[in-house]
Amino acid sequence: MSQKLDPQFHKELDAFGCHDFTQCMNCGHCTAVCGLSENKVAFPRKIIRYVQLGLKDKLLKSPEPWLCYYCGDCSQTCPRQANPGETMMSVRRWLTTQYDWTGLARKFYLSPLWEVTALALVAAFVVALFLLFHGPIVTDRVELNTFAPVVWVEFGDWVLAVGLGSLLLINAIRMASFILSIERVRKIPLTLWLSELRTLVIHFFTQKRWRDCPAPTRWWKHVLLVSGYLTMMLLVIGMLRWFQTNGSHWRVIDLLGYYATGVLLFFTGEAILGRLRRRDEIHKYSHLSDWTFLILLFVTSLTGILVHVFRLAGLAMPTYVTYVVHLAVAVPMLVVEVPFGKWSHLAYRPLALYLLAIRSRLEEAEAAVSLTDVPQPSPA
């Protein structure tokens, strides 16, 4: 089958952070070094070759970029300093823009103006909602639920969750159609989709392949970070009416908030410091999207815990104002990052493993069928 080459593709990918791959001489050392590369799904050399040749269709069909957890081992040992780890990262950013049907992901990844404007517009919308519709402001004690009725905030959370989840789901379906091809997707029986669902769930919650990378502490850190996200999601989407209350008393449920905030503040703070120092291989190169993601997550966590501190201290106005600031940072972060930005990798990575598992079961079945097609010798 003929493949379209795009000789200008390297320029396109350069804008996604990839600068050094032109140095690659395809020696294959990185693939040999990578603890996650396997015979059937070998990387990163193959992916770098696709990039060099401008084989965009091949890249779109490749789940391999999502199988890299960016340990940096291959970049450290590349004899040409071609930075294969960062190339894989840049290809993931490019793929995220290709899966996104709205075109917004591409705008946000490539234009700081677009990203900052989108964040500012959503933040302004949140502040305007509070200015226009906030409840009575009680100042002699903290009445957060009077200022921001929990049923309305909970309704907003659900609208956001369903809206952003739907956008991400559509992008995930597009990813599946690229990797498996539409013809194949149609052939896959429902039972196969269902039987491999456990792969999706296990890898979403554990990211356990990361343990095969040379620095297993990074796996632990990422698992804790994801547990922080999930705990916070549980509190604000499923348990808000218990989590957000009036008064200045302490409740047992606050322990969950401390856990989520502590984990998010610690690990985002550590990552920000790492990117500032640029000592580790994985922190040497930072794309704008890396900074916005980390800073927004850090500020969201910080303002969240400040709301709690002010509420416990009985400071009414600081509680209300910080609450508005908290949502004016958290909501734009979710709107930009979940379906269009870095957070989408939480869905795409386990999905790639799920699609690979389905593809390999399908190939086994197809191989078995083609064997039965071979004419058998007639008995003598």
| DSSP symbols for 188-250 | S-HHHHHHTHHHHHHHHHH-GGGGGSS-HHHHHHHHHHHHHHHHHHIIIIISHHHHS-SSS--
* Between 34 and 328, CB nearer to ligand SF4: 34
What Å distances lie between residue 238 and 36, 169, 231, 365, CA to CA? 36, 20, 10, 42
Binds ligand SF4 (CB under 6 A): choice among 41, 70, 98, 274:
70
Binds ligand SF4 (CB under 6 A): choice among 68, 104, 240, 331:
68
Residue 59 touching ligand SF4 (CB under 6 A): no
Binds ligand SF4 (CB under 6 A): choice among 13, 18, 34, 307:
34
Task: Please enumerate in sequence order all residues whose Cβ is within 8 A of that of 32, keeping only pairs 6 or more positions apart, or say none.
Answer: none
Residue 45 touching ligand SF4 (CB under 6 A): yes
Amino acid at position 184, single letter:
R
Report d(CA 216, CA 214) in Å as an integer: 6
Binds ligand SF4 (CB under 6 A): choice among 13, 18, 71, 307:
71
Residue 283 touching ligand SF4 (CB under 6 A): no
Q: Is 222 exposed, middle or buried (0-12, 13-18, 19+ CB in 10 A)?
A: middle
Dmax (CA) of the chain:
101
Binds ligand SF4 (CB under 6 A): choice among 17, 44, 54, 332:
44
Residue 13 touching ligand SF4 (CB under 6 A): no
Helix (H, G, I), strand (E, B) or coil at 16: coil
Residue 100 touching ligand SF4 (CB under 6 A): no
Is-contact 35 212, C-beta < 8 A?
A: yes
Stretch that binds ligand SF4, among 21-29, 128-136, 321-329, 362-370 (CB under 6 A): 21-29
Residue 126 touching ligand SF4 (CB under 6 A): no
Residues, the chain = 380
- Work out how close the CB of 150 gets to ligand SF4 at its nearest, in angstroms, rounded to a whole number: 43
* Between 74 and 225, CB nearer to ligand SF4: 74
Task: Please enumerate in sequence order all residues whose Cβ is within 8 A of that of 106, keeping only pairs 6 or more positions apart, or say none.
Answer: 97, 100
* Between 68 and 236, CB nearer to ligand SF4: 68
- Work out how close the CB of 346 gets to ligand SF4 at its nearest, in angstroms, rounded to a whole number: 17
Residue 72 touching ligand SF4 (CB under 6 A): yes
- Work out how close the CB of 98 gets to ligand SF4 at its nearest, in angstroms, rounded to a whole number: 20
Is-contact 135 147, C-beta < 8 A?
A: yes
* Between 38 and 366, CB nearer to ligand SF4: 38
Number of residues that bind ligand SF4 (CB under 6 A): 29
Stretch that binds ligand SF4, among 68-76, 326-334, 356-364, 367-375 (CB under 6 A): 68-76
Binds ligand SF4 (CB under 6 A): choice among 13, 51, 59, 88:
88
Radius of gyration of the chain, Cα coordinates, nearest whole angstrom? 24
Residue 160 touching ligand SF4 (CB under 6 A): no
**17-49 as b/e, with b when 16 or more CB fall inside 10 Å?**
bbebbeebeeeebbbebbebbeeebebbbbbbe
| DSSP symbols for 194-205 | HHTHHHHHHHHH
Stretch that binds ligand SF4, among 18-26, 119-127, 146-154, 194-202 (CB under 6 A): 18-26
288-312 and 316-340 helices cross at what angle (nearest 10)?
150
Enumerate binding residues for ligand SF4 (CB under 6 A).
24-30, 33-34, 36, 43-45, 48, 68-74, 78-80, 82, 84-85, 88, 213
